[in-house]
Amino acid sequence: MILVTKNGFTLIETIIALLIFVVLASFSPLFIKVIRPPAEPAVRLEELQLFFTEIGKEIRSASSIRVANRQLLITNSDGETATYSQYGQIIRKQVKGLGHETWLQSIKRFEPSVTNGIEVHVNIQDISGKHYDRKFFIGHLLYEKILAES
């Protein structure tokens, strides 16, 4: 009598082994995130530059500017007041107290200030602790102040 032994894998066994390997390999990114959590995103430089550019335009065209409760309130020539404030980890803009327009993300602290009614200082700290400062001079308000003192 001839004895036949099976050596090796059949096609079905190979496909099942490959399927188990693919399923286990698909979970490996999840394990990597658990082992090393992603770093907290800081403020992107392009986003910050755009924020300073746009808020600078609004400051220069403002008819009045004031700060109350760490909020920057900019009133334009039409009498509409835009409020820039920190809301969680973002800086948002609201017009007439309405809306929710996100202007900057990943923010830990937003501190605007106005000096002598002619200089606006914006101090921002991102969630990684880096500080960003910018000063804006309000030229037309300075001119009006000089004329009023004359």
Taking the model in full, what pTM does it have?
0.66
Exposed (0-12), middle (13-18) or buried (19+): which is 106, by Cβ within 10 Å? Answer: middle
3-state helix/strand/coil string of 107-124: EEEEEEEEECCCEEEEEE
- Which long-range CB contacts under 8 A does 21-28 form with residues at least 24 apart? none
Domain ranges of the chain: 8-38, 45-149
Alpha-carbon gap, residue 79 to 62, rounded angstroms:
10
Per-residue model confidence as pLDDT tens for the chain (150 residues): 566 666 766 888 889 999 999 998 888 777 776 666 666 567 788 889 999 999 999 888 888 888 999 999 998 888 899 999 999 999 999 998 888 899 998 899 999 998 877 789 999 999 888 999 999 887 665 555 555 555
Beta bridge partners of 102: 92
